[in-house]
Amino acid sequence: MSLAPTIEAQRLATMASQADLELTQLVKRYGDGPSAPVAVDHIDLRIKAGHYCCLLGPSGCGKTSTLRMIAGHEDVSEGDIVLGGRNITRLPASARGTSMMFQSYALFPHLSALDNVAFSLKMRGMGKAERHAKAQDLLQRVSLGHLAQRKPAEMSGGQQQRVALARALITEPRVLLLDEPLSALDPFLRIKMRAELKAWQKTLGMTFIHVTHSQEEAMALADQVVVMNAGRIEQEGTPHEIFNTPRTEFVARFIGGHNVIASGGERLAVRTDKTRLSREADAPLGSSLAATVTGVEYQGTYVLLTLQSGGPGGQDSSELNVMLSEAAYQATPWQPGDPARAHWDTHDVHRLAA
């Protein structure tokens, strides 16, 4: 399914080009007083207009609170939210130029797809014929025009998502906010809808801000990934930057695909696919750790070996992973309990901030 560029899409893209979003020293506390829990802790962030930004992190890291403050569904404790040069921090949700697509889609079960999409225009007092015409146009653009009279219960999860997207777009927002929109879908449909979300964003030229706890989802969708932890931004950048050059140990471990190694008072990150494995007797000289294979996991054409370095319970013991191709594993199979030596080249090591 694709959205053909239209005059309306071009107009939305022009609006979006003037709508950079800036968060300045943004704070969210739940409660009053110095001991009140802090969900978002003095974050600064700039999201360029027309970018797909993913707020990524574990549960409780502050990503959804940040999204809800941008939307106007949570009050800001401190700081400012500026959209397109306009301070929207204290404006009501309907006056911000943003629209939110909720995790549950929040469709009205007793209304048809057409009336669900048109609902916000009805609340603004727009006549039935005009709002239905606009809603029908949006349903056509998400390939659901033929299902306009169906109720949510008569539609698949992917179709409901498209209705929710059309409803969010009908207010002509500058920024579309998505709160874990794919989490309720099965894995196959999640991948399909992920591709469609990216296609919609590119066609519309709008800013999308998408909250997720899925590293794979963020890496597939985003132009800009913002990794959050304990209410703060650990790192922001392109998916390539986040994956290849994690700035902190938290980012390296949360994104996955890295081993974190203590060496000479520093913490080093080495990608699992850059960590090689040799039988101890054949191990080359250089940076390496003695290890024992503790687990073997097949992942398609790759095999993930889990190692324990330094000996179980040893003072310097740590868990390492090595990603091998299926062919390499078949040439040199490994079993739990096998002694080994993990090693890597100096240029594959990335130093982490303290």
Alpha-carbon gap, residue 319 to 307, rounded angstroms:
6
Asked if the model's pLDDT at residue 120 lies above 60, the reply is: yes
Residue 9 has a pLDDT of: 54
Q: What is the pLDDT averaged over residues 43-61?
A: 95
Tell me the H-state helices in 76-186: 113-123, 128-141, 157-169
Q: What predicted TM-score, i.e. pTM, was given to this entire model?
A: 0.83
Which band of pLDDT confidence, cut at 50, 70 and 90, is reported for residue 237? very high
Mean pLDDT of 134-155: 90
In single-letter form, the type of residue at position 35 comes to S
pLDDT for the residue numbered 313? 44
Distance CA 104, CA 67 (A): 15
**Helix/strand/coil for 85:** coil
Where does the pLDDT of residue 41 fall: very low under 50, low under 70, confident under 90, or very high at 90 and above?
A: very high
Phi-psi sector, 6: left (phi>0), alpha (psi -120 to 50), beta: beta
Mean of pLDDT values over 79-104: 91
Which single residue is written with the structure tokens 């993913």? 54
Asked whether the beta carbons of 199 and 221 are under 8 A apart, the reply is: no
Mean pLDDT over the full length of the chain: 87
CB contact set of 28 (below 8 Å; sequence gap of 6+): 38, 39, 40, 62, 65, 66, 69, 74, 76, 77, 231
**What mean pLDDT comes out for the span 26-39?**
88
With tokens 């469709």, the residue in question is 107
CB atoms inside a 10 Å sphere around CB 77: 17
Mean pLDDT of 308-314: 60
Percentages (nearest 5) of helix, strand, coil residues in the chain: 35, 30, 35
CB atoms within 10 A of CB 60: 13
Mean pLDDT computed over 4-22? 60
Q: In one letter, which amino acid is 88?
A: I
Provide mean pLDDT across the span 64-75. Answer: 95
* Residue 194: band (very low, low, confident or very high) from pLDDT cuts 50, 70, 90: confident
pLDDT at 207 over 60: yes
pLDDT digits (tens, 9 = 90+) for 158-183: 888 889 888 888 888 899 999 988 87
pLDDT over threshold 80, residue 280: no
The token pair that represents 157 in the structure block: 């999860």
State the angle between helix axes of 113-123 and 128-141 in degrees (0 to 180), rounded to the nearest 10: 130
Task: Give me the pLDDT at residue 229, please.
Answer: 96
Better-scored residue on pLDDT, 179 or 317? 179
